[in-house]
Structure formats: C-alpha cells, structure tokens
Structure 1
Amino acid sequence: MHAKLRLFTLCLALAGMVTLILAGTMTNTVSAQNRGNKLQPFKVAAIQFNPILNERDKNVDELLSIIEQAFKNGAKLVVAPEMSTTGYYYRDREAIRPFVDTIPGTITKRVGNLTSKYNAYAVFGMAEKDARTDLFYNAAALVGPAGYIGKYRKTHQWETEEHWAAWGDLGVPVFTTGIGRIDINICMDSAYFESARLAALGGVDILAFPTNSSAQAIAALPARAQQNGLYIVSANRSNTENGFHMIGASAIWSPTGVKLAEAPLAADKSKAVAEPMILYGIIDPQAYKNKNKQILATRRPELYKDLMLYIAPWDYTKNTIPHDLRAGIVQYEPVVGDKTANKAKVARLISAAVEQARRENNSLDIIVLPELSLTGPMDKQSIAAVKSLAEPADGGSAGFMAELAKTSQVAIVYGLIEQAGNKLYNAAIVVDKAGSEIGKYRKTHLSDSDKRWATAGDRLAVFSAPELGKFGLLIGEDALYPEAAGVLAVKRADFIAIPAAWHGQYGSYMTIHPDMSANKYPAGSMVIWDAAAIGAQAYTLVANFMGTTAGYSGHSSLYTLDPLYGLDQPAVAAGDKEEVLVVNFKTIQPQWWFNQEKLLLSRRTPYYVPLVQ
C-alpha cells in the first residue's frame, strides 16, 4: 500500500511563519487543559485520497494506513476528503445502503484507535446512517485522542447526493479540542458564505474542509479564510469517478488568506492521479487571533435580516430579462480635496470613453467612479477640512454629474461627502442618462478613517432602472462583509457597483492555482471583490483610485459569475494608470448551471439565525 503513497511534504519552518504571527502573545482559550498555556505551532496534513466506489472496507483499510503515515510524520490534525470511505456517486438510497455506517460507529472507532495512539485528531468524510430514522447523510466525523468527538452533516448539497442524502440538520457545530476550536464544512458549503461565517461566529480557529471538488468549492477557500480569519485545511480527490473529475489541489490556507501549501493540480482527466498523497503544513495558534477575525466584531446584524428570507420558488419582484450591458469603470489619481481638478479629470476620462464607444458604433450604459469621487479619500484630512467639502445630495456635485450624464448619455455612479442636517455620510448616488437620481446609498460599514467624520448608513438597498435592470451599491469596506452582498442577492440585484478607495488595507490578490479557472483571472484580481460577485451571483464593478502618497492600488475591475467553468471573463485595469476600463456583461445568465436563482433556491435559511442576531 505504501509503495503507492506519494508524500508531498511542505513542512513550513517556524522561521517562515514569522509573517503570520501577530505582535503580542495570545493565550490559548480553546480547551480546559490548555487554558493559560501558549500552544506551539503544529503540523497538519491534508490527505488527497481517491476511494474506490462500492469498496468501503478496502477504502477504510487504505485510508487508515495513510492517516497513520501522516501521524507518524508528526501531523496533529489530519483531514481526508468528502465521502472518503465509499466514493461519491450513488444512484439512490438503495445503491448506497450497503456502505453507510453510523457516526459514531465501526469506522470512527477504528480511526479513534489511531488518534488515541498518536494523540492526534482526524476529520474524514463518510456516508452516515442515522440509526433512529434510517436517514442517510453526507457527513464528516471528528475523532481525537479520547475517541469520537462530533460530526457535521453537509448543509448545502450538490445534485448528486440529493438523490440519497437528507439535508444536514445539525447546523454548524463547533468542537473544542486541545489544538483549537475546529469546525467542518463539506464541499458545496463553501459556495455559500454563510457556512464558514457561522463557524467564525462560533469562535472557530480551524476549518476542516473535506471535498470532492472540480474547482468551485476550493476556489472559494481563500475568501472564506480572509473573511473569517480562519485556518482552512482542504482535502480533495484527484481522479475521475463516473465522468466527474476532481482536480486535487488540496491546500492549507492561513487566516489572512496566505496559501501555506498546495498539492499539484490535476486539471483534467488526462492528468488524474489515483495514488494518494499527503500534504503537510504548519498551523501557528498565535495566529488564531488576527485582524480578519477582529472584523467580526464590527458586523451589523441589524442590517442582515433579509438573509433569513426564502423567497422561493415564487418571487414576482425579480428581474427575469437579461440585460446586455456595457460599462465604463473609471480609475484616476485624485487631487485630494480639490473638487475642481477632480471634475476636470472625471469629465476628460468619461468623455474620451464615450467618444471611443461612439467611434466603435457602441454606447456605454453605466459609468462607475471611485469612492468620494470629487474630493478624493479623506484619510488624513482634518474634520474641519472634511466638513468644508461636504454638500447636500442635491448640491454642486449632483448638478455636475447630472449634466455629465445627460451630455454623455450614460448612467453614472459617483461618491460624495453628503451633508444631511448635522450629519455627514460617505454616500454613493446613481443618476440615469437623463441626469435624474435613481438611488442613493450611504456606506454602512465604515473604515477607521470614515469613523472620524461619517455616520453609518442604515440600510442595504437594491435599485431598478429599465435600461439597467436591478442593481445594488456598496462602498469600499462594505465588500469585507459577505452579508452585505448576500442581502443584495436576496433582493435580486443583477449587478453590484462598488466605488472604492483601496490601497491594500483589506483583502489580497488572487492566489488560487492559475489553471484552476477555465477563464484565467487577470493579474491584479482581488479575492474579496471576486467573492462579492460569486457569492451574490451578481456581476460586480469596482472603481478604485490609483497613486497618491497613500499608494492607492488601481486594478479597477469587473468580477463575474463563473470564470471557473468558462462562462465569463473577469477584467482588471492596470495598477498605475489613469483609464476607463470598458467591459461587457450579460446579467442573470438564466441557463447556466449555477446562477443567482439556483443560489437562492438552495440556501438553508433556518440555520442562518446566528448571522442576524
């Protein structure tokens, strides 16, 4: 058996982990025996294992041998793939009945013998039979030094297991262990931000992720790590079963979205690898406390109540007509505090883009400008300076933008410091090509800089226009909170516009394996912005500044619904150039295998209650 075992070892040296350790000392609070004691970095392993369909006993024997190999090499936590004891494709309940087991049961007991022997932990996917109800579940078990600890039943299922598996009914339980709080998500769960978010709100440190993924599930993991401040240990298969190819690329992600280790990608059936592989990485418990996890404390659950709505299968408010849209996403170096100079830049860039479109016998439907478009960002300005630049929503900036929209015959999204009574807001307004206001949004999740002068908005809204369809607005740091884009999806936004002022203060560039996506992500693609688009299944247009002494990062962009399987293509502007990125996209995509309609139909809202409390 071990003659076939290929060891892919990436044991990170402790010195290489320095960048992951935050300043200060964190005491362990995750288990009684370790309270007050600092946990040391430890090795984890993702087992890229390919079970044989209908060969449960043989699979279990081999899986146990590989788990033991990882333990012998020092792993304190081992994660194995989804359905690792049986294989994945089963026609119906009767087809899988001979291969299910209870949890706890015979298989967990056998794994427990190893975890007890090596004082370690294992998470593995399996087909579970509930002894009381005779219902079957796509489940995963956690076993530790003292034996069976707990289980998770997959909440968001793919079509294949729907033919035999009942929906998971346990929510997202959190398990306290001697190495940290551990939670489990399984494969399709990662397409729904709610699964990992529920884990994070439970105080989880490590997300174990058994999967049988062809791309979608594992491509979402960098975002889930960053959004929630979690380590993620992902174990995938690397072969083909009944025509379904799983691409390997098991990986270990840090709480800041750094890829600590990744197994080779088996991009297609010709590159399938049947032999098992062990991928190693290091987890440092001092990084359990991190800046991304701290963001959880600034969530605004009162704004997220719509996440609990399940408006299906009927929703007479949704748009059913796809719109072919051509958008201009504007980026430039602002002259901070100088509205006159910025107006000139905006007018010049938009006019040039509109004229270019006309020469090509085209037109633009919508223009998106960066956050606080005509003043530039207010990162270092005094409160007095900010107040001097504020204006009512129908003030001078509104008049300028209305006239520009009419002249250019294009809708425009722009940002301003809005004064309403004695309050100031970081606001975004959209006007149609006649210069009339369609909608206004006030930033709901403020940056530290915003908090010096701005009042937070109090609602997440979707607007509608005949020529555009339904769309939502977010501003800057709003994108950090997946709940915000999630609410816009529930409200059936066909696309989202995000005026931004990003200089790297959140998120990171895309680092999934470049060959994982059929349509490649361009250089400069940003994880958090992409997650907003895919998570809401709404095309997302991000306009960002570039330059200045603050180093604004440019890379204004269009993020799309599904580049992974070849539906559409993200587009990203340069990082250091004033330009209008012109993009085309078709909203809704009603015929695609996964879209906003299918996303909303497959949400499991009864388990989302902690998100809105």
Structure 2
Amino acid sequence: MVFTVDLSRTSDAMSRVGARCLQRLAAGSVGLVVASLMGMALMVPAKAQDGRKPVKVAAVDFIPAWGDREGNIRRLTQAVERVAAQGVQYAVFPETAISGYDFSDPAQLAPYVDTIPGLATAALLPVLKRTGLIMSVGIAEKDASTGIFYNTAVLLGPDGIIGKYRKNGLNGQDVQLFGPGDTDVGVFDTSIGRIALIICYDDTYWQYDRLAALRGAQIIGWHSVSDRVMPGTPPAKARMNHSTVASVQHMSALNGVWVVGATRSGIERNPITGSQLYYNGGSSIWSPLGHKLVQAAVVPPETLPPGLNGFISTTIIPAEADAIRKKRLAARRPSLYNPLLALRRAPVDSTATVGQRSVQLAAVQWSGPASLLGSSQPQANELMVLPELSGLPTGLGAAGIRGRAETRGGGFETLLADRAKAGNGYLVGSYPEREGSKVFHTVALAGPRGTILGRYRATHLSDSEREWASVGDAPLVVSTPLGRIGLATIGDLAVPELVGLYQTLRADLLAAPGGEPSLLKVEIDPRLYAVSDPPTGRADLHPYLAAKLGQFWVISGGRRAGTFTAAGIFGPEPVVFTPTLTAAAGADAVRYRTEVPAPGTWINQQQLIDGQRNDLSRPLVLEAQNSCFQTWKQAGHGIVSCP
C-alpha cells in the first residue's frame, strides 16, 4: 500500500501524525481489506469500475467565509485545482462548504443557499473534467421545485453530477434550518469504485452507514463541521462538548468499508448574532478493518483565512473492502430485527425505565486460565458481570466446550445463583447450554434471591463460537430494581442491529461477558474527548461502540492478557461525560457507580430514538433474497416503493 500525507500548509503536528501512521503501516499493524452492489448514477451515467485499481483519496480541510457564497465557490474551485494537482483521485470536502454553518434561521441562510445543479456545480465541473478528479462536498441546498432547504452532499466527477445525498441525522442546529433528507442513503458507481455519502451527525446513528454497506458501498465519504466548546465556556454548557468526528471509527469497523472523513478547522463567527463555533480539525481516513490510516491534527481555536487549509491523503484499493464487508453483513439475521427496527416508535413508549436510580456496576477480571466462579460474589445490589464461559477453564477448544455443556438448572446455574444470593446482588455469567443435540452460548442473570431471572442464547456468533454453538432466537431484557438489563455476548456486539434491538427495547444496562482482549481497539484521537481519561489504544472497540450507539451502559467481564484486558465498563457518552473504565493489572474487577437511566448531555437514549428515520429502516429487516430488498439494492439510491 502506498501511503502519503499531502498538506498545503504543513504543520509539525500533522507531520508527526503521518509519520506515526507510516510506522504502523510498515509494522503491519494496519490491515487492508473487503462486498458487492449494483449502483446507478443520479444525473449522468458513470462508467462503473470494480475498484481494483489503487486510488489516491483525500480528506480536505476547507474553510468557508460566513455568508460569502460566490467567494466560497471561487475559493473552493481553487482548492480543487490544488488538490487535483497532487494526484488525488477522490477528495472529500466538509459540510456546508459554500455558505458556512452557523445560521440562526432559514431566512438568515436563504441568500447563501444553492441549487444542484447550480452555481457551485457550474464552477466546479469544468475543473473536474480537465483534471479527472472525483469530489464530494457539502452544500446548503435549496430544492429548485419545492424551495425546501436541505443539508446536502453532492458527488461530482469529470462527466458531471453523479449523485447527491440529503442529510437524515439532523441535530439541534440542523432542524432550525433544513428539512429531513428525502434521498435515502445512496451508493453511486464511479470510475474508481462505489461511493456513498454521509454527513456529520449521521454518524451518531448506526443505521445510515449500515444502509450504505447493504447497498454495496466500498467507500463512504463523510462530510462534517464538527464543532467543540470554546475555551472558557461555563462548566454547565461545557457538558455539551461532543465531537462528531470522534465517532467515525464505527462506520468502517462495523461495516467493512473505507471511510474518508473530512471536517474543518478554525473559528466561524456569525456577524449578525455574534455567535461563534470552534472547529478542531481531525479529519481522518479509515481502513475496512476499522483501523486509522492517517489523521489531520486536532487544533486549538484560531481565526484562519478562508480557503484551503490543508488535506490528508493515502492510497487505497476500493475493492479490498468487498470481502470484509461481505463477512460483516453475513453475520446479520434480519428475521430477528423485524418488526422492531422498522416499526418501533418513541416517545409513545411505556417500556422505558421511569425515575433515576443509583446503580453499582462491576466487571470481573480473571488473569489465569482457571474459572474463579466459586469465589466471585457481587456486593449488595451490585450488577457484576463475569468473563464468558464462566464455569470453564480456558483452552478447551470446541470439542472440550461441547463436552462440558449442561442443561438449564444444572451445576453452573446453581452455583451462579448461589453466589448472587450470597452477595445479595446480581450476577451474570455464560455457559454452554445443551438442549437436545444443540449447544448454545447462553448468558444467565441470577438475582439476590438465588434465582435465575433470565437466560439469553447468543444470536450473533463470533468465528470461534460458530465452531461449537448454535444461534439463539431472540434478544432478552429483564426488568429489575436496578433498571432494564439486557444480556448479550461480546460476539453479538460486532453487529450493530443487535445494539439497535436493545436500544429499541430500552435497555439501561447491557451485561456482555467477554473472553480474551480484542485486537481491535479504540483508535480515536484522545484530543477529541472531553473526558479526562479517553480509552484510545486501551479499550476494546465493540463494547465501546455498543454503549455509545445504544446509549446504555455496557458491562463486560473478561480475561487479562499481558497489558490488555477485556474487563471493562463502557459509558453511553464516552466522548463527553461517562468514562470508559478497564480493569487495572492485579485487580479482580473494575467498579463504578452511576445513574440509570443515563441522563445524557448532548444526547440520550430517548433523543436518539426520537431522531431516527424509521421510515428508511425497512431494508435493515429484509432478507437478502426478498424481492423488495433486491429492488432497493439494485436501484442504488433513492427511496424505493415495493408493490
């Protein structure tokens, strides 16, 4: 793989980021990898390619001047010339690049919107035709027919307008200016491969990038203006200090696609209201395995001149996403998701926990190969989660695990219930459960009275689990005085639909016994966090993502191996407020007391569910062979009605 970092205004910090990424690539710690689709161009036919050739891609830091549409179009055209001159073949530019973002209402924004086709496309297309560059850029778009404003990303190439996407995941600022997107999530055939477009706050939801993967995307272009709280902000308001760019890793890791994520730097000031937004940079490019390949510097607030402020780039082979994406999607079980993921609505939802309660959580850590179930005991009213296969030693192999399988009510469940009763708390562990000729990986919850309160059979198996276990048939949430407790395995958490089910079922806590530490860690730049101890390089990625995307606490007991552990407690707002805690060396557990349900700062579970576009979720619950799914996939873009 060729690796390059190109910067029009190179800084020492950005150079250091590139050097570290190059060292990781040379050491082989960043893997490359792999699906299929039939996409269609929106406005002009594109010569589709299979994406097998190397492509130089770039995430561009472009700074618009507030409310200077014509000037920004001119500067954008100049930036495109400079990026293309460096051999870039696909460039992603930030959100709302020709208007700026900080507007108070549609009337204030109205003089600076554009149509598609419009002024910006007319200026850009001749440059693309001459240079051969493909680009996508965020535009505050006015629909020529209806006059409705949309937060839009448009994909352009040498032959014209390829397609566009109107943002679905609208945040508190967006809803004051833009209508909800009506394009669905499209995937477009281009001369370099299949590209999908996502915009900023869309990445708060798992559904939109998943829809792109289901339609066969090889590359996601992500367009953002991810703002942060300004220095000196009062602590009460600083709790809103989220950074959208800190969520980008999940799009690549969960879906097996390349992600080119562009955001901007600088300070944007609205001269009418006096408000200002601080953008901290941090554009990044991710491999289909969820590894960061290159990242721009995360910078402090600074007034910068409008125009090109730099870009990062690397060379990828789009088709190397195909096999990985196919494997990620093969783990899905759409029959489990229908109808909950398509039809469930909030806020008219009586399922959710009412009233706050203080809850003690504990994730147990075992360092040796033996089971320590007999000496594990929760504290009073504590939820304690053990490592997976809690009654067995490690290293048994598939045959050994099957040979130790037992029926419900057997020795494992009896001991688990006894230990819960002894501590007057709640204890979660897992075991190989035999029913007839089948063996399941079953997670059991025991309560303070010494009874089993619930059993869940893993529904999404990891590669190692498939060697000995059959799949279960349903998620499970148990109502307790601590809150609503969902049960899962770590293997389940690699599938975002399972997270979506537990979110929809309004779980407050997800108990997920784990095994050995994962090789896939959180790789998000720690400077993008407001919490004091970000989990970068330390925490396993999948439970971290499950907590954030589901807006519930994830408690995972696990084993320790060297300097890493799978035992952790993962909060629903790990960027802003709730910590990510992993067990220290030599500790028998990591503990934390919190409030349930999580009250939230910039978002909580209720707001997350309210903001979903369930009308776009139908493909998520359809089997691949379903004729409606096939029609939707083959259309490539747009909302498809089925007979």
With normalisation by structure 2, the TM-score equals 0.85
In structure 2, C-alpha distance between the alignment counterparts of 1:556 and 1:364, rounded to whole Å = 20
Alignment counterpart, residue 277 of structure 2, candidates 222, 244, 266? 244
Aligned pairs (5 A) from 1:66-145: 66-145=79-158
Decide which moves more: 61-70 or 443-452: 443-452
Aligned to 2:547: 533
Q: Answer yes or no: is 1:573 the counterpart of 2:583.
A: yes
How many angstroms apart in 2 are the aligned matches of 1:379 and 1:96? 64
Unmatched segments (≥5 aa) in structure 1? 336-340, 355-362
Which residue is equivalent to 1:212? 225
Aligned-pair CA distance for 1:252 = 0.9
Distance 1:126 1:597 in 2: 30
SS at match of 2:59: strand
Q: Distance in 2 between matches of 1:240 and 1:444?
A: 47
* Contact residue 22 and residue 290 of structure 1 kept, 8 A: no
Give, in whole Å, the separation in 2 of the partners of 1:274 and 1:433. 63
C-alpha distance in 2, partners of 1:569/1:577? 21
> In the alignment, what sits opposite 1:281?
314
Corresponding position: 1:610 with 2:613 = no
How far is 1:421 from its partner? 2.9
After TM superposition, the structure 1 = structure 2 runs for residues 346-495 of structure 1, keeping only pairs within 5 Å, are 346-348=373-375, 350-351=376-377, 354=379, 363=380, 365-376=382-393, 380-382=397-399, 385-466=400-481, 468-495=482-509
1:197·1:228 contact (CA, 8 Å) conserved in 2? yes
Structure 2 residue 597 is matched with structure 1 residue 588? yes
Note the C-alpha offset of 1:29: 9.2
- Greater relative CO (CA pairs within 8 A, separation 6+): 2
Asked whether 1:6 is paired with 2:40, we answer no
What is the CA deviation profile of residues 257-306 of structure 1, one whole-angstrom value per residue up to 9, with x for unaligned ones?
A: 22111111124x3x565562222222223522343542211211111121
Aligned length: 579
Counterpart among 506, 511, 515 of residue 497 in structure 1: 511
SS in 1 for 2:373: helix
**Contact kept in structure 2, 1:588 and 1:595, CA below 8 Å:** no
In structure 2, the partner of 1:324 is 358
d(CA) in 1 for partners of 2:149, 2:97 = 15
The secondary structure found in structure 1 opposite 2:433 is: strand
Q: After TM superposition, give the deviation of residue 124 of structure 1 in Å.
A: 0.4
Once residues 255 and 128 of structure 1 are traced to their aligned partners in structure 2, the CA distance between those partners, rounded to angstroms, is: 31
The answer on 1:234 being equivalent to 2:251 is: no
* Mapped contact 1:53–1:87 kept (Cα < 8 A): yes
* Per-residue Cα deviation, 1:111-147 (whole angstroms, up to 9, x for no partner): 1111111111010001111111111100010001101
Tell me how far 1:364 sits from its aligned partner.
5.1
> Quick one: distance in 2 between partners of 1:370 and 1:272?
50
Any conservation in 2 of the 1:328–1:364 contact (CA below 8 Å)?
Answer: no
Distance 2:442 2:260 in 1: 39
RMSD: 2.7
What does the per-residue CA deviation read over 1:229-266, in whole Å, with 9 as the maximum and x for residues that have no partner?
Answer: 11111111112333322211011111112211111112
**1:76, CA displacement in angstroms?**
0.4
Aligned to 2:565: 554
Find the counterpart in structure 1 of residue 607 from structure 2. Answer: 598
Q: Answer whether contact 1:189 1:217 (CA < 8 A) is retained.
A: no
Residues 255 and 54 of structure 1: CA distance in aligned 2, closer, same or farther (over 3 Å): same
Q: Read off the aligned partner of 1:39 and give its amino acid letter.
A: R
- Measured against aligned partners, the alpha-carbon deviations of 1:587-612 in whole angstroms (never above 9, x if no partner) come to 22336331001001100011111111
Higher alpha-carbon deviation: 202-211 or 556-565: 556-565
Q: TM-score, normalised by structure 1?
A: 0.89
- The answer to whether the 8 Å contact 1:544/1:553 transfers is no
Specify the code of the residue in structure 1 equivalent to 2:259.
Answer: I
Q: CA deviation at 1:33?
A: 5.3
Which of 557, 573, 582 is equivalent to 1:543? 557
> Relative to 1, partners in 2 of residues 1:22 and 1:330: Cα closer, same or farther, differing over 3 Å?
same
Distance 1:85 1:282 in 2: 27
How big is each residue's C-alpha offset from its partner over 1:527-578, in whole Å with a ceiling of 9 and x where there is no partner? 221110000000111111234xxx895231111122322x22111114x646
Residue deviations 1:480-521 (CA, integer Å, cap 9, x gap): 0011011101110011111112343xx611121111101132
Distance 1:300 1:18 in 2: 33
Instruction: List runs of 5+ in structure 2 lacking aligned partners.
Output: 1-6, 41-45, 228-241, 269-274, 623-643
Question: Does the CA contact (< 8 Å) of 1:462 and 1:491 recur in 2?
Answer: yes
Assess if the C-alpha contact under 8 Å between 1:152 and 1:184 holds in 2. Answer: yes
Closer, same or farther: CA 26–154 of 1 in aligned 2, 3 Å: closer
